[in-house]
Chains A and B, each alone.
Chain A
Amino acid sequence: MKQVIKGNIAVSHGVKLCRVKVISAYPITPQTTIVEELSEMCASGELDAKFIKVESEHSAMAGVVGSSSAGVRSFTATSSQGLLLMHEVLHWAAGARLPIVLANVNRAVGPGWNIWADQTDSLSQRDTGLIQIYCESNQEVLDSVIMSYKLAEKVSLPVMLTYDAFFLSHTSEIVDIPEIEQADEFLPPYNPEFRIDINNPRSFGGMIGPDYYFEERYVMHKDALEALEYYQQVCKDFKEIFGREYDICEEYRTGDAEVIVVAAGTITSVTRIAVDRLREEGKKVGLMKLRIFRPVPVERWRKVLGNAAKVVVMDRNLTAGLGGVFASEIQAALYPIENKPMVYPVIAGLGGRDVTPDDVEGIINYALSNDEPTDVPLFWGLKE
């Protein structure tokens, strides 16, 4: 059934379709309407779930750590400061190997208070062990909730799906809402091998010495890598049932491209427009849209980007003293390649500043006309 809905509502529909049993969340702009919508769904009985109305995000995450440990499908959502407050428990959830799904609305981090789109929040959690998936449209947001549970429950790792504040969270788009029967067919009931079980008492997450910790983390790493393989299967299964196609990353006109722009989130939409315009001018440019960012699809990135002469990386995030997170990881991935492309790291759109197709066109033209980057990174649109 097609409906015109906002990104946050798309998330709520996804949660409902997955028959989530426990939700624990705390409001923060621009995630708030997810909490409101899910509260309504729980209150009306439309969704048969227990909503723990916690007093903070730290508790929101800890609550789902508790419920997921007891073997029940669990969900939380947050943004920016809330995600940062969760930090300790994010590591815990991943280390405890709990398939929690977390929806994060990408919002700038204070100070000063800025509620607009910026990916520094989710990227600052990149070492927590959560799988990270970046979405570009409301359809993709809804579909990602469903796919995330499938992935999370297979590899026993939490998944964070993330999408831009306001550009998606509060913007209405046409979304095809799947039928519950389709979702049921795709996502079987959650039945973990290990859980808090009164008939089979075990201890979870206690003291573990140097003798075991090392191997335990190695296994976690292996499983994270396996998630990459399995994600492709998830995408295939998803296509069969729902008809929509997803991948580890998306390639747009990259085949013969000499310049490839790398972007995540809504900047990819404007980049597509810019790519089309420049193609009309005969310029060989393309786009690689990042989808899954943890685990890092190194091989795939190399394959897509390896033959380009230049790679422009758009970062709507900043690690002060380094630059953009995506650029640094793309550079690391490309490092072993012979004749590797020249990378042009660009910081754009921080704190929700608009990035238009004209901007991206300008950025690509800058890369085309310079043999190497003039500034690393280039802060596009910086006011004097």
Chain B
Amino acid sequence: MQSNVLPRSQRLETLKRLRDFFNAHNSQTLKQAYDAFSLEHSIDEDELEALFNRYFVGPMEPVADPFASVYLDDPQSVMTQSTLHVRSLYETMGFFYPLKNIVPEDHIGVELDAYYQLIYLEEVKNVAYLSELRYYFFHEHIAVWMPQLIERAMHGRSEGDNAILFILNELKSFLIRETTTTRSHE
């Protein structure tokens, strides 16, 4: 098991890159986040953004909506029970969310941010107070829906969309590694 776990700094760094990628708001921040992975496949900034929008943003129906609610509750809705469950978790973890009621809490970028901060707390600050909640957040929520997003995106993938494929693989590997680290004792 232990061999699957990334070195601490790398684990955090991967998480941070994934977070930044999915939270990118424009072509520059997206390209920066993409380049941070140092992948072999290079891609033009505008091309990358067009791809990213087609997969995760819109305005047309994205290949894979980036919200947990779509996979867990209702394929067409945001701000569902799952979203409010994540809201409750964040609040219990001591987070304040400035975009509350604007961008749903279960957006992939927001969840990766929360997860990053929780890992940071444990790894950098050696604070374990939120660990159990973090495990719960991962196993009962993230690990349930993000693989579905990956699967949907892979399924809807077009030939040549390698940049997205690389990111999805990074996310997938990350999830697999995290999955092996903890489980519920029930």
A and B form one complex = no
